[in-house]
Structure 1
Amino acid sequence: MSSAHTVAADGAIPAPQVPRSRIVIASMVGTSIEFFDFYIYATAAVLVFPRLFFPAGNDTTALLASFATFGLAFIARPVGSILFGHFGDRIGRKATLVGSLLTMGVATFAIGLLPTYAAVGLWAPALLAIMRFTQGVGLGGEWSGAALLATETAKPGKRAWAAMYPQLGAPIGFFFANGIFLLIVIATGYDSVNSGTDHAFLTWGWRIPFLLSAIMVIIGLYVRLKLEETPVFKLAVERGQKVKTPLAQVFKTSWRQLIIGTFVMLATYTLFYIMTTWVVSYGTGKVSDVNGPKLAIPYTDFLELQLIAVLFFAALIPVAGLLADKYGRRPTLIVITSAIVLFGLSFHWFADPSSASAGKMLVFMCVGLGLMGLTFGPMSAVLPELFPTNVRYTGSGISYNTASILGAAVAPFIATWLVSSYGVGWVGVYLAIAASLTLISLIIMKETRDQSLDSV
């Protein structure tokens, strides 16, 4: 066994051989690109795809169909976590991270080239669905790899702080995705309520963010190709501790952790996709929409509110990392998740059409995305800490991405239906129920702050 990667006498894992700054950039840049790709689709799913990729007719039906393709990626994500998790636990974190980034990048670029329903009929939504599924496969392998890169190279007692860097990729990607869309909308003079399908934004403008993603992918690949394998994985290889079938092994030895990890993530996913995807259709929809009353805030104004609110998301992720290292994962997340329950019960006051205003919606989104930063920040430490080294990529990825089906894939669809049937207050009740399930999981979960990552 090479002495360069042997565990020291005090049990400490050796420091990585590459500069810490490179690890931080690689984990954060990669997830920023992945989430940028994901969010430009989320925005287009509300603004573009219902009008261009589905048959003309009922606006609500088209929106729900667009949300269905949006949800396809979440179904694909567990597939990606199994596929990339297998290689991540078998051949290493570095090569797998490169593969996941390429998968996501190619699919996103291709969406920017797709023909519309007017040009090819039903082939348009079919091709859109295929590319969306491929996006999900790529993202399914991305997050857990970036989280492991950060945690498996972290200093003792600083794992949650180190692990918050890949989490910062979410608000960074969100900010750039929506910022670019905002600039294009302003430049083309697009009005989401009154503009027709022949408008420049719907003709070619919406394609620009998808095509620009290619530049970001090239930058991400450059950074990641300069990485080395994590010391923790190197040790497992040298000891002969890799397994042939990580998927079978994780279900055999860590099935409880899979269930707990999935439900620990449930509130995070539900909150985020209510506050970023559904809220756009609710905030910018027509007041007389047959799918229930909406706020009819102009899209550019609403997007500006979102861009302000996402700053709270970004600012509170590091705070959550510090709190989770100081007080532990469980106490920190139990308090934050309890606050999410209370926030869910406040939806009627914040967002009811009879009393809502742009100012109240800004506060509403700042609180919601602030809570998102607090609950999301520690997750890239918590989920990897639940699993041993030889199945960590697979296990953390499956938990993270199965939660995406239960929490995110259906959240915009359920929220849209609840508003039309019972009112916006019930969207908050739905969030509170999801957060309550997360609370139960956190109570059952053992504290992982002091768990060694050098374990099999």
Structure 2
Amino acid sequence: MSATIRGARAPKKTNQGFKSSLAGFFGSALEYYDMYIYASASALVFSRVFFPDAGATGLLLSLATYGVAYLARPLGGFLAGHFGDRFGRRNVMIATLLIMGIATFIIGCLPSYSAIGLWAPALLVLMRLLQGLSVGGELAGAASLTLEHAPESRRGFYTSWLVSGIWFGYILATLAFLWVAALPDEAIQTWGWRVPFWASALIVVLGLIIRRSLEDPEVFTEKKANNEIPKAPIGVLLKRQPVDVIRVIFAAFLIVISTTVPVYGLTYATNVVGIDASVVLWTTLFGYATAFFTQPMFAALSDRIGRKPVLIVGNLIGAVAVWQFFWAVGEANIPMIYLGIFLTITVAFACTNAVYPVFFSEMFNVKYRVSGMAIGLQLGIVVTGFSPTIIQAISTANNDAWWPAAALTSVACIISAIAVATARETYRTPLAELGRRDEEDELAGQEAAAAETTQTAQTTETTGASA
């Protein structure tokens, strides 16, 4: 009988594993399509549409609005972590998709500064905050759900499709802005930049159809049915696995390279060096398109040799390759820019990007897995969001030098590699045992402390009696 039951359940689990990967793919595609069209618009258009009176500081203000979303991401992580661990992963994934889709569509409808004055940048910042709130919870919920549905020996590969969706979103966004860049300047400033924002509605509809068909994983529903899910998952997380949360914060610095290379690189190349925007967009598209194929390979490799080696090597390659990339941008050497994109994005970042979602999720117990990954990741990513602004300020103070971008990115990659090296390897740990060792260690510590207190009390009582 048991064999029959196992045989009946396997197809359902496999089907849910595939569906969760697909749902994560399209969800990530939407999230990062929306994020990158905003990044492209902030670098190429928004300084003139929303900050026309700011003069030379308009570009800095425009880039700052890109970073504003990262302030909301930790809050999004806290909210998604609480509701995802307390009530289920599926509904959180639906909510994050809707919030991002609505905010992005509204950005495409916003009047310019010349039409409504300061209300224009104020509403832009508000919608950007909603985008950050959505992204703050998206990846952690999707990664936890996919990890918990995936076959044991292929958790890395299945989960990697979430971040492969990121590249798909980037590719769509880059193609959209290649079309925008080809329009006459007047058309770009009035209506052309808005079309990519409106088009995101198509991805929202497709993502919702898939996500509504998902189920919460059995490993979670069993804990919930047995009333083992804490009422305050975040509180339990910070009590039992605080070191892992801190470790994820610093390991998340690996994501800085994905912002400094394509976002700041695009800004520096077009505004300082004078390279045509379409050329830079094509080099970026090349990096994203090739990474789309290398990421699943690196994820599958992590299922065979471990998460840590792939993450550490990717970080170290990135720490070196960014110097070559920004040198090439500074020299306006197009072939070398392509090489730099290949080394930084296709190789280095693809290594880390493919593996960190499964690695961060595997660190934590199922009872507070979404919270652990979401909080640690989003606090770490705050540095990522403001890295273009920080670099722009340092670069301006140093005669528009490119080295601040390479230096900041290189340091971030090295910090991430060190944080990963201190973590426990998890790729062979069974799903049901992930995070249990930390929980058992914490409980054992409580029992030892209680025993010591009891022994001290007994000793005191005996001494008093003797006296």
TM-score by length of structure 1 reads 0.89
Selected match of 1:430 from 408, 412, 424: 408
State the AA in 1 paired with 2:259: Y
In the TM superposition, what whole-angstrom CA distance separates every residue of 1:145-164 from its partner, at most 9, and x where no partner exists? 11112211111121111111
**1:139 CA displacement:** 0.9
In the TM superposition, what whole-angstrom CA distance separates every residue of 1:243-270 from its partner, at most 9, and x where no partner exists? 1111211111111111111111202x21
Residues of 1 paired with 2:318 and 2:250: CA distance?
A: 15
State the AA in 1 paired with 2:143: A
Question: Any residues of structure 2 matched to 1:215-230 within 5 Å, and which?
Answer: 215-230=202-217
Query: Retained in 2: the 8 A contact 1:283–1:295?
Result: yes
Query: Retained in 1: the 8 A contact 2:265–2:329?
Result: no
Matched, 1:295 2:273: yes
Bigger Rg, structure 1 or 2: 2
Residues of 1 paired with 2:16 and 2:84: CA distance?
A: 22
Residues of 1 paired with 2:180 and 2:50: CA distance?
A: 20
Selected match of 1:366 from 339, 342, 346: 342
Question: Any residues of structure 2 matched to 1:11-30 within 5 Å, and which?
Answer: 16=13, 18-30=15-27
Residues of 2 paired with 1:148 and 1:260: CA distance?
A: 18
Partner of 1:402: 379
Instruction: Provide the secondary structure at the position in 2 that maps to 1:244.
Output: coil
How many residue pairs match? The answer is: 427
Partner of 1:344: 322
Residues of 1 paired with 2:302 and 2:138: CA distance?
A: 23
Partner of 1:274: 260
Higher helix share goes to which structure?
A: 2
Matched, 1:103 2:99: yes
Residues 1:347 and 1:309: Cα distance change in structure 2 (over 3 Å): closer
Matched, 1:189 2:184: yes
In the TM superposition, what whole-angstrom CA distance separates every residue of 1:10-30 from its partner, at most 9, and x where no partner exists? xx9996274543232112111
State the AA in 2 paired with 1:313: A
Partner of 2:142: 146
Give 5+ residue unaligned stretches, structure 2.
437-467
Residues of 2 paired with 1:318 and 1:209: CA distance?
A: 28
Query: Retained in 2: the 8 A contact 1:18–1:228?
Result: no
Residues of 2 paired with 1:137 and 1:348: CA distance?
A: 31
Residues of 2 paired with 1:364 and 1:17: CA distance?
A: 39
**1:224 CA displacement:** 0.5
In the TM superposition, what whole-angstrom CA distance separates every residue of 1:76-134 from its partner, at most 9, and x where no partner exists? 11111111111111111111110111111111111111111111111111110000000
In the TM superposition, what whole-angstrom CA distance separates every residue of 1:3-48 from its partner, at most 9, and x where no partner exists? 99x9x8xxx9996274543232112111111111111111111112
Selected match of 1:39 from 5, 30, 36: 36
Residues 1:431 and 1:29: Cα distance change in structure 2 (over 3 Å): same
TM-score by length of structure 2 reads 0.87
Instruction: Provide the secondary structure at the position in 1 that maps to 2:173.
Output: helix
Give 5+ residue unaligned stretches, structure 1.
191-198, 286-293
Instruction: Provide the secondary structure at the position in 1 that maps to 2:60.
Output: helix
Query: Retained in 2: the 8 A contact 1:180–1:209?
Result: yes
In the TM superposition, what whole-angstrom CA distance separates every residue of 1:333-352 from its partner, at most 9, and x where no partner exists? 11221111222343564233
Residues of 1 paired with 2:320 and 2:96: CA distance?
A: 37
Partner of 2:49: 52
In the TM superposition, what whole-angstrom CA distance separates every residue of 1:290-336 from its partner, at most 9, and x where no partner exists? xxxx2211112221221112112212211210221111111221122
Instruction: Provide the secondary structure at the position in 2 that maps to 1:115.
Output: coil
Residues of 2 paired with 1:169 and 1:82: CA distance?
A: 23
State the AA in 2 paired with 1:41: Y
Partner of 1:240: 227
Residues 1:364 and 1:344: Cα distance change in structure 2 (over 3 Å): closer
State the AA in 2 paired with 1:84: A
**1:364 CA displacement:** 1.6
Residues of 1 paired with 2:11 and 2:86: CA distance?
A: 21
Query: Retained in 1: the 8 A contact 2:47–2:62?
Result: yes
Residues 1:349 and 1:280: Cα distance change in structure 2 (over 3 Å): closer
Residues of 2 paired with 1:202 and 1:387: CA distance?
A: 47
State the AA in 1 paired with 2:385: A
Q: Percent identity?
A: 31
State the AA in 2 paired with 1:189: P
Question: Any residues of structure 2 matched to 1:61-140 within 5 Å, and which?
Answer: 61-140=57-136
RMSD of the TM alignment (CA)?
2.0
Question: Any residues of structure 2 matched to 1:251-270 within 5 Å, and which?
Answer: 251-267=238-254, 269-270=255-256
Matched, 1:393 2:370: yes
In the TM superposition, what whole-angstrom CA distance separates every residue of 1:363-399 from its partner, at most 9, and x where no partner exists? 2222211121111000111010011001101111111
